[in-house]
Homo-oligomer: A and B are copies of this chain.
Amino acid sequence: MSLSIKDVALRAGCSIATVSRVLAGKGYISDEARQKVETAVKELGYRPNRVAQSLRAQKSRVIGLVLSDIRNPFFSEISRAVEAVAFHHGYTVLMCNTDEDPKREVQFLKLMEEEKVAGILLSPTRANAKTLDPSVLPPLVLFDRKIAGANLDTVVIDNEEAALKLTRTLLGGRYQKIAGIFGAKSFTASARIKGFQNAFQGAEERMLGVYQAPAFEEEGARVMAEILKKEPSVDAVVCSSALLATGAYKALRQSGSPIVAERGFVCFDDPSWASFVDPPVTVIRQPATAMGEAAADLLMKRIEDPARPVSEIVLQGELISRGAR
């Protein structure tokens, strides 16, 4: 059994209340008592039990981070930022990875509630967007994806605008048949599709089509191969995520398509290879660190003041133009 405040009190020759007060820095304490307690704490190497604190206070200093795909560098980077901010505020991070499985997501939200986390950071799956009931949950901040109509703190990037910008880099070129490959039924994918389509205003004939697939590398490759086969006139491609892009790029290479050499390939995220394949690939880089920090900050504020007005932060993606070598 580990050291408790009782042991400290015994050693310091005072009551547990005094110890607690010294530790919390609250209320009136004589210098003498403070001294004694502090040396006792040091000598014993006492550290408070956060579990007991949580029970007593009816809230913990733990926040939940629910990720849809931790292996995605975008989310890794977010995790890192979140953890740093949380740590800075004295919070720890309970992490879970749903792999986009809505069932796992709800299971986890329940677990988080059972653990009495102080708040939750969530990038919700589309499937749960409707059913999720924030009223029974701890303070909740959404990131990367928002839930339309829900009155929740949210941090997203302007996906529509980003897709628009990215697509325009192609429209500025001589490409005549531009295809878009997007993730399947996610909030993010929808917004990017919208931006992609809007970019073609007044040049609708240059849009070859919108393709959707689960965001895996193999799927990107599969869809790209399919497009090449069915629509051989394709001369440019916009990819909506690093994973899809990696697959699609490989498929292009394998097929010997001239799209790569002609710089007709652009994508979201900034996969490490984009900068040094030949020719390099123009991308939209998502401000993942900024997003993680903003979301964590928002959550800290929300925890502190549950009544504060809801805010929605929209970050801009950064176009990294690698048109010329």
| CB within 8 Å of B: which A236-252 residues | 246, 249-250
Q: How far is the CB of A163 from chain B (nearest CB, A)?
A: 22
Cα(A73)–Cα(B108), bound, Å? 23
Across the interface, do B277 and A116 meet the contact criterion of CB distance under 8 Å? no
Q: How far is the CB of A64 from chain B (nearest CB, A)?
A: 9
Partner of A96, one of B52, B54, B93, B271: B93
Q: Is A197 an interface residue (CB 8 A)?
A: no
A53's nearest neighbour on chain B, judged by CB, is B114
Across the interface, do A76 and B71 meet the contact criterion of CB distance under 8 Å? yes
Cα(A71)–Cα(B51), bound, Å? 30
Q: Is A60 an interface residue (CB 8 A)?
A: yes
The winner among A47, A58, A97 for most chain B CB atoms within 10 A is A97
Number of this chain's copies in the complex: 2
Task: Please give, as numbers and ranges, the residues of chain B lying within 8 Å of A277 by CB-CB distance.
Answer: 273, 276-277
Task: Identify 13 residue pairs between A and B in the complex whose beta-carbon atoms are under 8 Å apart, listed by A's number.
Answer: A1-B58, A45-B136, A55-B55, A70-B83, A73-B73, A73-B76, A79-B97, A93-B94, A93-B96, A94-B94, A94-B95, A95-B95, A272-B272
Q: Is A155 an interface residue (CB 8 A)?
A: no
Across the interface, do A114 and B49 meet the contact criterion of CB distance under 8 Å? yes
Across the interface, do A79 and B70 meet the contact criterion of CB distance under 8 Å? yes
| CB within 8 Å of B: which A30-47 residues | 45, 47
Q: Is A6 an interface residue (CB 8 A)?
A: no
A253's nearest neighbour on chain B, judged by CB, is B276
Partner of A80, one of B45, B71, B114: B71
Partner of A47, one of B83, B92, B110, B253: B110
Q: How large is the interface on A (under 10, 10 to 19, 20 to 34, 35 or more residues)?
A: 35 or more
Across the interface, do A87 and B95 meet the contact criterion of CB distance under 8 Å? no
Cα(A144)–Cα(B97), bound, Å? 21
Q: Is A48 an interface residue (CB 8 A)?
A: yes
Q: Is A50 an interface residue (CB 8 A)?
A: yes
Q: Is A234 an interface residue (CB 8 A)?
A: no
Q: Is A111 an interface residue (CB 8 A)?
A: yes
Q: Is A129 an interface residue (CB 8 A)?
A: no
Q: How far is the CB of A243 from chain B (nearest CB, A)?
A: 9
Across the interface, do B51 and A60 meet the contact criterion of CB distance under 8 Å? yes
Across the interface, do B77 and A71 meet the contact criterion of CB distance under 8 Å? yes
Q: Besides the contacts A79-B97, A93-B95, A94-B94, what 20 more A-B pairs have beta carbons closer than 8 Å?
A: A47-B110, A47-B113, A51-B54, A55-B55, A62-B115, A65-B95, A73-B73, A76-B76, A80-B97, A83-B95, A83-B97, A87-B104, A92-B111, A92-B112, A92-B115, A94-B95, A249-B276, A271-B273, A273-B277, A277-B277
Q: Is A84 an interface residue (CB 8 A)?
A: yes
Cα(A44)–Cα(B71), bound, Å? 38
Task: Please give, as numbers and ranges, the residues of chain B lying within 8 Å of A136 by CB-CB distance.
Answer: 45
